Structure 1
Amino acid sequence: MTIHARTLALVDDLRKLPAETPWVEFKKDNDDAPMIGKLISALSNSARMADEHFAYVVWGVRDGDHAAIGTTFEPSTRKENGQPLELWLAQRLQPAIAFQFDVIDYHGTRLVLLRIPAATNAPVEFERTAYIRIGSATPRLSDHSERLRALWTKLQPHVWETGVAEQFLTGDEVLARLDYACYFDLTAQPLPDNRAGIFERLAADRLVLPDAGGHWIITNLGAVLLAKRLSDFSPAMARKAVRFVAYGGTNRADTVTHRQDGQRGYASGFKGLVDYIDGLLPRNEHIGKAFREDQPLYPSIAIRELVANALIHQDMTVGGAGPLIELFADRMEITNPGKPLVSPDRFLDLPPRSRNEALASMMRRMRLCEEQGTGIDKVIRAVELHQMPPPDFRTEGDSVRAELFAPRRFAEMTRDERIRACYQHAALKFVSGERMKNATLCERFGIDPKNAAQASVIIRECQKAGLIRPADPAHPRAGYVPFWA
């Protein structure tokens, strides 16, 4: 479909509205610049309140009966104080907003359409004042505290997920691009026997939204979760695909042995990705009582949870970057774009903060990741069960990296690894309602109880590093807790 066809269908839909709404305004020829500035602020804020992606002003449509009567308004030549109208408006609107004027030949009648994106991060202000639409009035937002609170409530969860990945698609085009059968399977819902039922469920989860002229929008959430091919969407969306690279040695200069650039959405491709990685891992030898001959090099639950965390917690607004999984001979690194919202040393105990709450919620419903706040617990439990070196969670530039290390005996672990393992063990015990003791640390490392003094040395070093403290200084046998307890 052409852009012009969508615009005509959009005007058709706007004219069919029974009356002006808080996000739609009709004008004849009024081109007063301050009036337009206030309208942009008010309609943008009101569109967010109404969960609309855009607000609109249409010149050339009569307010009463919505008849297309035409307009003489010409935004491209209109000046205000010697400046082009669009520049004059842009300089007075904060935050910056990508409004757009379009002159339309509407079946032989000249109309002007102003598209106004809904507010995203903060209320839109014109000349340092935010406005809102109430009926036909455009009052200051600050004079209506209840609406201001409601707007901030709407703004807080508005993130990348609600954006438009593709618009003005027919039903057939939507179903060709999205793996809708996967959605029904993973959410344990019966597949409806008619198209209306399919779209009703997809729209209820805001994976698709109605568009002009009976067409549909695929949201960013719908595309990133269910795309059959992410390359069917914009290059920015395609770059959100998960990349996997395996190296023949211990650094990136070694030969690449396997590479897979994900094509499918996260939900439709998740199981295949995890199975692919698991299939490449060598099976492990007996190291400690927890290992069996058929065990993969890394616990499957740890890989699954760390990959899911990378998908959920990435910063989707970072351009040209997506999750990256790298497999080396001695470790696995899982990197996602975006600085963490929680300090890496508190991933275990603090409630997770995600930029992508709808994505996280949907992946939990699809049973692709654990319930909120338990994923890192399971990673560390699995690592301790297999007496492996502790995982490392850290910030790398503007990204977060989780590192899993191949099995090594206690004697082969570095001093820093032993201290980090001690801290993680104390934290895991604390969040489980227990306390770390010398005996539990011996078990974690596979240290013979006759050599418990080795665990005592690690505990002292971990205390010196400020990572743990005695649970009760007056009673040394009470055990130890993390520094934040």
Structure 2
Amino acid sequence: MSNATPPPPTATPTEETRQLALIGDLRALPAETSWVEFKENNDSAEMIGKLISALSNSARLADQHFAYVVWGIRDGDHAPVGTSFEPSSAKHKDQPLEFWLSQHLQPAIAFSFKSLDYHGNQLVMLEIPAAATSPVEFDRTAYIRVGSATPRLSDHPERQKLLWSKLQPYAWETGVGAQFLSGDEVLAKLDHTSYFELTEQPLPDNRDGIFDRLQADRLIEVDVGGKWNITNLGAILFAKQLSEFSPSIARKAVRFVAYEGNNRATKVTHRRDGQKGYACGFSGLADYIDALLPSNEHIGKAFREEESLYPSIAIRELIANALIHQDMTITGAGPLIELFKDRLEITNPGEPLVSPDRFLDSPPRSRNEALASLMRRMRLCEEQGTGIDKVLASAELHQLPPPDFQNVDTAVRATLFAPRRFADMTQEERVRACYQHAALKYVSGERMTNSSLRERFGIAEHNASQASGVIRMAQDEGQIRPADPEHPRAGYVPHWA
């Protein structure tokens, strides 16, 4: 078997055009930066390894997606002079150069060499992704760029501290969803009209105004050669067709499946795979689900009225939560909504950041802060800290079984249940409803009482002992406790209060 290193893949015409435009933009820089290095023929493997570490870390400090080393450009005046360096055939210690470098860099980093003809000069460009989760090390040492020097990161504690501060909030949203697009291509891919409508901004009367606003909200960013990038945030929120983007984005589309019975083995009656971005497609998805839900007869104070089986506000808030709190880095999985005869399940990929039983009272946390912030600004979900309140309160108002939140196989699943009488609820459901009722009262500045729990369950006053029995079970299971042990009538609070 041959050990020869395969030649690098040939760039597509678009990739080659972008690479040439990128070289032009890099040459136009007044001097080398902390994330750009020019060389002629120096191909020392150790030097390249240190540069990858230093430039990757420096690119993150400079808020750049990538750093670059370009061979064949003279350092002083940035003139193209060509290079004899051929990374595809270069070796170090009897190993292909790229393989040897990959073995000595931690964490693994997807650097790549690109050979190209630039106006008759042979150039080599090394593209280095910015550090994402921790500083990039070469031979167990992290480096940084300071002027033209490449010292150890640990020798510059102020830069080390700043780098860690930038790594911690680094988010999927800032990544590039599509690159090197013309203005027409951006507007063809993004529903910018929905953006202005949802954010309640007047539509600018010129293209520059449109692009300024999209850029200000980090939906797009400037690329090289006068072109644009669409960020992951822009794509996931406002894509006209998610399938036009990379699979890592396209597979984040919301899926909806309705079943004839109470389990997934029964016949599928409806299926819908979302095509639009979350923001521009949200109302259409919610309306689609609402239209499929059967109605439930509710007896109001004066007359009977038909209303949806599940409260619309609960459905919309749980869908929004699934979109906001999912782990975008889990590939091949997106939010899933499943409608069964007796329940509605909404699942999003990713471990919860707080325990599901503390969703109500814990301070809101999200992996996708920019996504969450913009969706709240567009009023597609409730303000921070009130969403789950609305879900539980609406379930209580309609006297539904208590919603359930579970961590299932590295995913979070929220379940709304169809109406059932108190007599038909399980003991587990009664205790969970009691805990949720006590928690909801507590965060509202009140306390749960036998009377308030009877109202939540629809229990008549002469059957008060039924509510008392649920309270005893919830206490026995450690879900609630007396607000004041010396005064039993003072009510009850959740165990964590």
Q: TM-score, normalised by structure 1?
A: 0.98
CA distance in 2, matches of 1:312, 1:228: 19
Please state if 1:116 is matched with 2:128.
yes
The match for 1:430 is 442
Distance 1:153 1:292, change over 3 A: farther
SS in structure 2 opposite 1:285? strand
Alpha-carbon distance, 1:294 to partner: 3.1
Q: Which amino acid aligns with 2:238?
A: L
Asked whether 1:379 is paired with 2:391, we answer yes
Match of 1:91 among 103, 106, 120: 103
Deviations 1:194-237, CA, capped at 9 Å, x for gaps: 11111111111111111111111111111110000111112232
Q: What is the CA–CA distance in structure 1 between the aligned matches of 2:271 and 2:92, rounded to whole Å?
A: 57
Q: For residue 190 of structure 2, what is the aligned residue in structure 1?
A: 178
The CA deviation string for residues 400-424 of structure 1, in whole angstroms up to 9 with x for no partner, is 1100001112112111110000000
How far residue 288 of structure 1 moved from its aligned partner, in angstroms, is 7.3
Q: Would you say 1:238 and 2:245 are equivalent positions?
A: no
Deviations 1:58-116 (A, max 9, x none): 01111111101111112122222222211121111111000011111111101110000
Give the alignment partner of residue 24 of structure 2, picking from 12, 27, 32: 12
Per the alignment, in what secondary structure is the counterpart of residue 2 of structure 1?
Answer: helix
Corresponding residue for 2:180? 168
SS of residue matched to 1:295: strand
Aligned counterparts, 1:256-295, within 5 A: 256-286=268-298, 293-295=305-307
Deviation at 1:289, TM superposition (A): 5.9
SS at 1:73 equivalent: coil
- 1:196 paired residue number: 208
Worse-matched range after superposition: 268-277 or 284-293: 284-293
2:79 is aligned with 1:67: yes
Q: Does 1:78 align with 2:51?
A: no
Taking the aligned partners of 1:481 and 1:293, their CA distance within structure 2 comes to: 34
In structure 1, the residue corresponding to 2:236 is in which secondary structure? helix
Whole-Å Cα distance in 2 between the matches of residues 45 and 450 of structure 1? 70
Q: Does 1:218 align with 2:203?
A: no
Structure 2: stretches of 5+ with no match in the other structure: 1-12
User: Structure 1: which amino acid aligns with 2:483?
Assistant: A
Range moving further from structure 2, 418-427 or 139-148: 139-148
- The aligned counterpart of 2:6 is none
> Aligned partners of 1:425 and 1:368: how far apart in 2?
26
CA distance in 2 between counterparts of 1:233 and 1:308 reads: 22
Q: 2:61 aligns with which of 45, 49, 71?
A: 49
Describe the SS at the equivalent of 1:376.
helix
Is the counterpart of residue 345 in structure 1 residue 360 in structure 2? no
Question: Is contact 1:288–1:446 with CA below 8 Å preserved after alignment?
Answer: no
* d(CA) in 2 for partners of 1:74, 1:244: 51
Q: Distance in 1 between matches of 2:202 and 2:278?
A: 21
**What displacement does 1:290 show?**
11
Tell me the distance in 2 between the aligned counterparts of 1:33 and 1:235.
34
| Alpha-carbon distance in 2 for matches of 1:290, 1:96 | 67
The 3 A distance-change label for structure 1 pair 426 and 93 is same
Q: How many aligned residue pairs are there? A: 485
Identity of aligned residues (%): 74
- Aligned pair partner of 1:100 in 107, 112, 126: 112
SS at match of 1:293: strand
- SS state at 2:413 partner: strand
Contact kept? 2:298, 2:306, Cα under 8 Å = no
SS in 1 for 2:225: helix
Segments of 4+ in structure 1 off by > 3 A?
Answer: 287-292
SS of equivalent to 1:212: coil
Q: Kindly state the Cα deviation for residue 479 of structure 1 after the two structures are TM-superposed.
A: 1.4
The amino acid of 2:230's aligned partner reads: I
Q: Who is 1:395 aligned against? A: 407
5+ residue gaps in structure 1? none
Hey, what's the Cα distance between the residues in 1 that align with 2:303 and 2:171?
Answer: 43
The correspondence of residues 319-338 of structure 1 with structure 2, limited to 5 A, is 319-338=331-350
User: In structure 1, how many angstroms separate the alpha carbons of the residues matched to 2:381 and 2:21?
Assistant: 41
1:477 aligns with 2:494: no
Find the residue that maps to 1:427 and give its secondary structure.
helix
The letter for the 2-side match of 1:109 is N
